[in-house]
Amino acid sequence: MSEQDIIMANGVFWESLLNDPRLAGGKPLLEKALSYIRQEHVKAEFPELLSASFEISYILLCEMNQDAETMVTVMLWPLIDKGKLDPEQVGREYTSGIAMLLSALRKIDLFDTRKAHSNVENFIKLLLTSSDDIRVILIRTARKLYQLRHISEAPEEQQAEIFKEASMLYLPITHRIGLYRLKTEFEDRVMRYTKPDIYQHIEQKLAETRDDRDRFTRDFIRPIEEVLQENGFKVEIRSRIKSIPSINRKMQAQKVEFEKIYDLFAIRIILNEVVESEKADCWKIYSLVTDIYTPNPRRLRDWISFPKSTGYESLHSTVIGPDGRWVEVQIRTRRMDEIAEKGLAAHWKYKSGTRTEEGTDLYTAIREMLETPVNNQGITTNKEKRALYSDEIFVFTPKGDLKRLKNGYTVLDFAFEIHTTIGHTCTGAIVNGKIVQLKHMLRNGDTVKILNSKNQKPNSGWLEFVRSPRNIARVKHALKMEQYKDADLGKEIIKNKVLQLELEFTDIVIQRLVDAFECENYLDLYQKFGEGKLDPLKIKKALTEAKPATPVQAAVEEEQFPETMSKLTSGSKEYLIIDNRHESFHYQFAQCCNPVQGNKIFAFVSVYQGVKIHRTDCPNSRQLIMRYPYRILEAKWKSGLTKEEPLPAKEAGRPKGRQKNRK
């Protein structure tokens, strides 16, 4: 029977709780809660639940350094959960902190974790940020550990779900916030269930080698104890066996059998006295140990002179013991050991070997709170709240999928995150069972079902409450498309008319029409023709009467064009090489000037017909340069072709047949 079970069986846990100096400030709260749950009708109706509360409270006190408010919250939770206590009543009779904790616990209990495996990291962050008070997740962790310890009492159909949630969510949480001892227990119990054959095999091997291991340990420790005692050091020497999951990982990593794992255990030397020269004393102990056993200098790890970024401090060395076996020796003070054992130095980083995990600031804040528990009035400081603050929220879909959003995002933002079409037709949502408007701001842990209607369309009012820059752009684009909804029809009308006139449908033609019909831009032109506001019969007149703009410098010599090209392409190291074997892009030769090998040429990027090659003395070149300088590219002929050899359009990359123009 464990120490916890003995305390529960003797019924003295609460009495020890009342007299614990760590909870002295919260003694009135504890006495009040104890008086209530000792009432006969409460004990008679919820004996198992209250017994569980005792053990969970013990975990929180001894493993997580928690306060009286946390203990009382755990005790009252079963009564709240069963509807025997009113949360508002708790707030009046106890403290607002306890009422807040109970409310947050109820919220987390409603989270759907069935799909946690699909996005574990988001679920972990949801749990850690679901409340400003981190005691909520500590209570949940202690409760999950209690369930694992008493798994045989749970219905068989629930056992798999308990282990799944413990391994995916709470084991990583204990690892990351530095509750290393609890992490080891989570890991051990999960492996015992998920890999029973491997677990039992290693467990049996450990049992078979126990006597030999104990003998070796005694022989190894004896000379160390003698020499340290002679030199006046008061120490505790322990031997620590690796956990079964750790041994299994090592066997898998090294691809060896159990018998080939030589560092099954480590010797830990703990200096009991607290002195100013603790670092120097640790090194003195190291010197004495290595006088007895030969060390491997490559395996020396000095985390005393240079503590890990997590705060972990210890001096590790590997030495050759009796029978030529390697043994790891860890040297530290009592203070260092407390930090490492209870995880307050974020041992998860020490084990994972990474220093850049997402959420590091959050985990650091949690570890600081574990080192110094919140005050007994249940008030977390502003500093702690800022440290725990996250600009992200996590919301559930009706199917249990978890979506990550920015804090402050609305129902409309969430709809667009699912799909653009869902956003366009969104009329509202059902959030936690209540119908809300598009502008409703979502909160961490909400369950959201989007409501849609095929008749819904974006409107300018949406821009007042949509928050995501990407979604703002989506709304603006939808509004613009609505404004030009007939543009495609108008474009086809213009194109057909231009082709009937045996003209090319080019940027120059479109710009002439824009000017002739006094439109703002080409989309405005298309829309007006599509709406029927402009007469297609007037296109011929507009094109035949419209004249190209007069060049500003008509008398400029052709030789000056390379200078203009040089300015336009200044800083560019690339130009187009024109030959009859080029296949990396499509280009066409402009019919207005029909360039051939030897002509001075340039490339113009059109909107509808790709890259077109013009001669520099093309009648349209000046207009193209003046109007669209940003579309001009330098082009050169590939050397080796004869001047008289024109390039067939088909070989020069022109697509076979007529391609449909694209917008």
- pLDDT tens profile 480-536: 777 777 888 888 889 988 888 888 888 888 888 988 888 888 888 888 888 888 888
Sheet holding 448-452, edge to edge: 434-436, 426-431, 448-452
Q: Give the pLDDT score at 422.
A: 92
Q: Give the pLDDT score at 537.
A: 86
Could you please state the CATH topology (level 3) that the domain comprising 3-179 is classified under. Hypothetical protein af1432 (1.10.3210)
Q: Give the pLDDT score at 642.
A: 42
Question: Which helix (DSSP H) or strand (DSSP E) does residue 83 occupy?
Answer: none
Helix, strand, coil % in the chain, rounded to nearest 5: 55, 10, 35
Q: Give the pLDDT score at 588.
A: 82
Q: Give the pLDDT score at 652.
A: 38
Structural domain spans, the chain: 3-179, 203-342, 392-483, 487-545, 548-663
Token pair belonging to 355:
């220093």
Question: What's the CATH superfamily of 203-342?
Answer: Beta Polymerase, domain 2 (3.30.460.10)
Token pair belonging to 265:
């255990």
Q: Give the pLDDT score at 396.
A: 86
The DSSP secondary-structure symbol of 410 reads B
Q: Give the pLDDT score at 648.
A: 41
Report, in angstroms and rounded to the nearest whole number, the Rg of the chain calculated over CA atoms.
Answer: 38
Task: Give me the percent of the chain exceeding a pLDDT of 70.
Answer: 76
Each residue of 535-545: pLDDT tens digit? Answer: 888 888 888 77
- Rounded to 10°, the helix 156-165/135-149 angle is 140
Q: How far is CA 630 from CA 66, 549, 624, in A?
A: 67, 18, 10
pTM exceeding 0.85 = no
**Residues near 575 by beta carbon (within 8 Å), at least 6 away in sequence:** 569, 633, 634, 635, 636
Are the beta carbons of 381 and 132 closer than 8 angstroms? no
Q: Give the pLDDT score at 639.
A: 67
Are the beta carbons of 332 and 314 closer than 8 angstroms? yes
Residues of the chain with pLDDT under 50: 1-4, 6-11, 344-359, 373-389, 549-562, 565-566, 568-569, 571-573, 581-584, 641-663
The class (CATH top level) of 392-483 is alpha beta
**Which segments of 258-410 does DSSP mark as H helices, in order?**
278-292, 334-342, 347-352, 360-371, 382-388
